[in-house]
Amino acid sequence: MVNINEFYEKNYKKLIIISYSILLLSIIIIGISYFKTGEFFERDISLKGGVGVTIYNDKINIDEVKELLKQNFKDYNVRELTDLNTNQNIGVIIEVADINEVQLKDVLKTKFDINFNNKEEYDPGLTSSSFSQSFYKGLLIALLSSFIFMSIVVFISFRTFIPSLAVISAALTDILATLAIVNLFGIKLSAAGIIAFLLVIGYSIDTDILLTTRMLKRHDAPLLERMKSSMVTGLTMTFAAIAALMTGYFIALPLELKQIFLIISIALVFDIITTYFGNAGILIHYCKKKNIT
């Protein structure tokens, strides 16, 4: 087996480069997506809003509606409407992004016999675009403020510039790399997805704090030994979390929960690299310069 101490002694600079290359690559991927689409990532209809109509007609088959919308529109959402007391199907709720109501009607007409003039059967009356837009903007601002608050806490806790910056940039890499993966796989983010990124902020820095504390503030063992012991603890934490999240991902029914679990899992995999390559490398370099042994 390779001796971890020796390996780190020799290669820590390379490890730093690997970690920050991921950050750079992620920024490029997200940048490309931004120039192509004007968005940092694809939003699902819950964050985009669109035309929403309700059709009260129990003869309409939801699968046929889905098929029809799939052929015609890119971004849609169909839900079954059931009577709350009898649980019987009484109609469907359709939401489609990026089009207007007339376009939706035209498509629906081709397949279904709906009396569009009867408010009891066809109910437009839901334009969620502006609300969804401001909801989305609010979430992005929340995400940004969370990141800033987290950075402040880190700076106050460690009161040293380079190590604090290393922790913060590790968290940033986790977020951006996960976002890049989301982009590459064409996953559409829902509100739940953005919440997941908020949780990533909290989760990803746990191991960094542990590593930084052990390496900078303890002197009970040689530097690399302290790093190793913190790795054992940190990796246990990360694997326990990934195990729980992946189990949740496979068991959970609600798509919102699934997306949260998936995104944090991806971020935690990146976190192993950013913490033990990037952050550990920088700390080794920093400690050497400051003669911390």
Partner 1 sequence: MKIKNLLKFRVLFLLFWIIISIIAINPKFNAEGIAIKGVEKNSTASLAGITYNTDLAPTKLERIVAINNNEVKNVKEYADLINKINNSEILRIKTDKNEYVMIKTDDIGISVAEYPTSNLRRGLDLQGGTRVVLQPEEKLTDEETINVIRTIESRLNVYGLSDIKIKQSKDLFGENYLVAEVAGASRQEVKDLISSQGKFEAKIGNETVFTGGKKDITFVCRDDGRCSGIRQCLQPESNLYSCQFEFAIKLSPEAAKKHAEVTGKLDVNLSATGGYLSKPLDLYLDDNLVDSLQISSDLKGRETSDIAISGPGLSSTRNDAIKDATKNMNKLQTVLITGSLPVKLNIVKIDTISPSLGKAFFNNAIWVIIGAMIAVSIVIFIRYRDLKISLPVILISSSEILIILGLASLIKYNLDLAAIAGILAAVGTGVDDQIVIADEILKGKKELVSSFKEKIKRAFFVIMVAWATGLASMLPLFWAGAGLLTGFALTTILGISIGVFITRPAFAAIVEALEEN
Q: What binding mask, one character per residue, do residues 133-152 give for partner 1 by CB under 8 A, x or -? A: -xx-xxx-xxx-xxx-xx-x
Q: Quick check: 3 binds partner 1 (CB under 8 A)?
A: no
Q: Which residues pair with 164 in a beta bridge?
A: none
Q: Quick check: 1 binds partner 1 (CB under 8 A)?
A: no
Provide the pairing of β-strand 76-82 with 89-96.
antiparallel
Give the residue, chosen from 38, 113, 253, 289, that forms a contact with partner 1 under the rule CB under 8 A.
Answer: 253
> Which of 34, 291, 283, 45 shows the shortest CA–CA distance to 166?
283
**Any idea what the Cα angle at residue 166 is, between residues 163 and 170, rounded to 5°?**
145
Residue 253 CB, nearest approach to partner 1 (Å): 4
Residue 179 CB, nearest approach to partner 1 (Å): 16
Q: Quick check: 127 binds partner 1 (CB under 8 A)?
A: yes
> Which of 105, 60, 98 shows the shortest CA–CA distance to 76?
98
Identify residues 71-100 at the interface with partner 1 (CB under 8 A). Answer: 79-85, 87, 93
Give the residue, chosen from 11, 72, 103, 128, that forms a contact with partner 1 under the rule CB under 8 A.
Answer: 128
Q: Cα separation of 121 and 169, whole Å?
A: 54
Residue 56 CB, nearest approach to partner 1 (Å): 7
Helices 161-184 and 4-37 cross at an angle (nearest 10°) of: 50
Q: Quick check: 237 binds partner 1 (CB under 8 A)?
A: yes
Pick the closer one to partner 1 by CB: 26 or 151: 151
Pick the closer one to partner 1 by CB: 34 or 239: 239
Q: Which two tokens stand for residue 214?
A: 């052990």
Pick the closer one to partner 1 by CB: 22 or 45: 45
Phi, psi of 219 (to 5 degrees): -140, 30
Give the residue, chosen from 125, 184, 222, 290, that forms a contact with partner 1 under the rule CB under 8 A.
Answer: 125
Provide the pairing of β-strand 51-55 with 89-96.
antiparallel
Q: Quick check: 225 binds partner 1 (CB under 8 A)?
A: no
Identify residues 14-43 at the interface with partner 1 (CB under 8 A). Answer: none
CA distances from residue 282 to 151, 157, 233 in whole angstroms, order as listed: 17, 18, 19
